[in-house]
């Protein structure tokens, strides 16, 4: 879609520019749970669409400009939105579960159902019914009517009393009728496919359904298929045996970890005996240092007399230090360091964690 718009005001907003426009042809982000349009105004790329204007990636002059809306994106949005109507209707018909929230994202969409502890069978049945409706290639009608006439339709969700003026109803055959101002396909067959990809309990009494449809569903299938193919090759296993093969590897990994833990526990006393022979003396502190390279460090602190020594363990891989001591209050010490250095951390009186831009020498200097 192309045309002309008039920009009446431009102001900088962080790294972007907000352009206020007259008579916007763009669909705003977040309206009705739907993501918004994208495209260009002149050479400027649209980053976000708001009710009163656009967020652009570069500055633009006030006045008239040519614009272009990404029609492929609009079609993809249409696939997700009509799929949501179908999926919500399917849950209501199968299990009397009502949709109380909808949000479309750039990668997936979600609906919130008014129930918890939903049987997996319900998810499968709703997904199957949705794909049946999609495969039947039912005409999707857009009907604009008055509020009074709209109440004669079998709407899945009653109209709000706040609604004024004309009402747009999306009618999917005899399957669903819903008031909606968003983008929709012309035929359910345009959606191609719907897939539920995850579910979770939210807000205490709701179930959130994550789903993809249309192009997104095909991309999701392709991504997961390629991943499974790679795993199958790496594990020299047929796809149908992957689950069993992975379970065996997980169990073997647990056994190896237990063996390593026992070895580390056995070796720890010998290492402690070595490192306490040459402590660094700083005022009243005897400081011993250990560079964490394995699980042995987890046992060392239990063997060091923290009334006599301050133990500093460095984990270079994660850029962290762990301090053990009963000669200083570790929590207070780290709070003092946070005032001087770009670090995060905390802990208790006898143990503290530090993460960020600080060296071992700087820690020791602050113990002086």
Question: Per-residue pLDDT tens for 35-81?
Answer: 999 999 999 999 999 998 999 999 999 999 999 999 999 999 999 99
129 and 22 fall within a common domain:
no
The answer to whether position 241 is within a domain reads: no
Query: Nearest-CA neighbor of 47 among 66, 29, 71, 25?
Result: 29
Q: Is residue 137 over pLDDT 80?
A: yes
Question: Quick check: 295 and 264 in contact, CB under 8 A?
Answer: yes
pLDDT confidence band for 162 (50 / 70 / 90)? confident
85 and 217 fall within a common domain:
yes
b/e sequence 111-138, b meaning 16+ C-beta within 10 Å: bbbebeebeeebbebbbebbbebbeeeb
192 and 80 fall within a common domain:
yes
7 and 90 fall within a common domain:
no
306 and 349 fall within a common domain:
yes
pLDDT of residue 309: 92
78 and 57 fall within a common domain:
no
The answer to whether position 128 is within a domain reads: yes
Alpha-carbon gap, residue 250 to 238, rounded angstroms: 18
The answer to whether position 263 is within a domain reads: no
Domain boundary among 180, 212, 229: 229
pLDDT confidence band for 120 (50 / 70 / 90)? very high
- Average pLDDT over the chain reads 93
Q: How far is CA 304 from CA 202, 266, 300, 322, in A?
A: 45, 15, 6, 14
The answer to whether position 177 is within a domain reads: yes
168 and 78 fall within a common domain:
yes
Rg of the Cα trace of the chain?
30
Q: Is residue 32 over pLDDT 90?
A: no
157 and 172 fall within a common domain:
yes
Tokens of 18: 């907000």
106 and 216 fall within a common domain:
yes
The residues near 82 (Cβ < 8 Å, ≥ 6 apart) are 140, 170, 172, 184, 185, 188, 190, 191
Count of CA atoms in the C-beta half-sphere (13 A) of 202: 14
CATH of the domain at 318: 3.10.310.30
pLDDT confidence band for 294 (50 / 70 / 90)? low
Tokens of 108: 């997936």
The pLDDT tens digits of the residues spanning 71-101 come to 999 999 999 999 999 999 999 999 999 999 9
Range of the domain at 144: 74-229
Domain boundary among 229, 257, 282: 229
81 and 208 fall within a common domain:
yes
183 and 90 fall within a common domain:
yes
The answer to whether position 106 is within a domain reads: yes
Number of separate domains in the chain: 3
Domain boundary among 17, 43, 69: 69
98 and 189 fall within a common domain:
yes
CATH of the domain at 193: 3.30.980.10
The answer to whether position 236 is within a domain reads: no
Tokens of 345: 């951390």
The answer to whether position 47 is within a domain reads: yes
Alpha-carbon gap, residue 105 to 59, rounded angstroms: 27
**Is 0.85 topped by the overall pTM?**
no
Neighbours of 364 (CB within 10 A): 16
């Amino acid at each position: 879609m192309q045309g002309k718009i008039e920009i009446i005001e431009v102001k900088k907003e962080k790294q972007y520019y907000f352009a206020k426009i007259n008579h916007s042809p763009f669909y705003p982000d977040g309206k009705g749970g739907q993501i918004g349009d994208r495209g260009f105004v002149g050479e400027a790329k649209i980053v976000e669409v708001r009710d009163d204007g656009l967020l652009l990636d570069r500055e633009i002059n006030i006045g008239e400009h040519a614009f272009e809306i990404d029609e492929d994106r609009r079609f993809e949005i249409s696939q997700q939105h009509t799929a949501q109507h179908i999926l919500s209707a399917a849950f209501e018909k199968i299990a009397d579960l009502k949709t109380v929230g909808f949000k479309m994202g750039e990668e997936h969409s979600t609906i919130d159902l008014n129930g918890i502890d939903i049987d997996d069978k319900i998810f499968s049945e709703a997904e199957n019914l949705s794909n049946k409706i999609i495969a039947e290639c039912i005409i999707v009608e857009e009907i604009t009517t008055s509020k009074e006439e709209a109440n004669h339709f079998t709407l899945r969700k009653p109209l709000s009393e706040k609604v004024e003026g004309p009402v747009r109803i999306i009618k999917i055959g005899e399957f669903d009728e819903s008031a909606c101002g968003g983008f929709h396909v012309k035929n359910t067959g345009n959606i191609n496919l719907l897939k539920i990809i995850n579910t979770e309990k939210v807000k205490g009494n709701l179930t959130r359904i994550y789903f993809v449809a249309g192009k997104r569903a095909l991309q999701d299938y392709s991504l997961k298929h390629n991943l499974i193919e790679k795993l199958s090759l790496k594990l020299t296993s047929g796809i149908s045996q992957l689950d069993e093969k992975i379970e065996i590897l997980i169990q073997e990994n647990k056994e190896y970890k237990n063996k390593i833990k026992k070895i580390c526990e056995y070796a720890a006393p010998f290492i402690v005996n070595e490192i306490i022979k040459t402590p660094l003396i700083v005022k009243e502190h005897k400081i011993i240092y250990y560079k964490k390279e394995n699980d042995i460090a987890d046992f060392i602190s239990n063997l060091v007399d923290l009334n006599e020594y301050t133990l500093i363990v460095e984990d270079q891989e994660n850029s962290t230090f762990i301090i053990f001591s009963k000669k200083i209050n570790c929590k207070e010490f780290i709070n003092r360091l946070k005032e001087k250095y770009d670090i995060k951390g905390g802990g208790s009186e006898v143990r503290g964690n530090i993460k960020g831009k600080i060296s071992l020498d700087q820690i020791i200097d602050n113990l002086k």
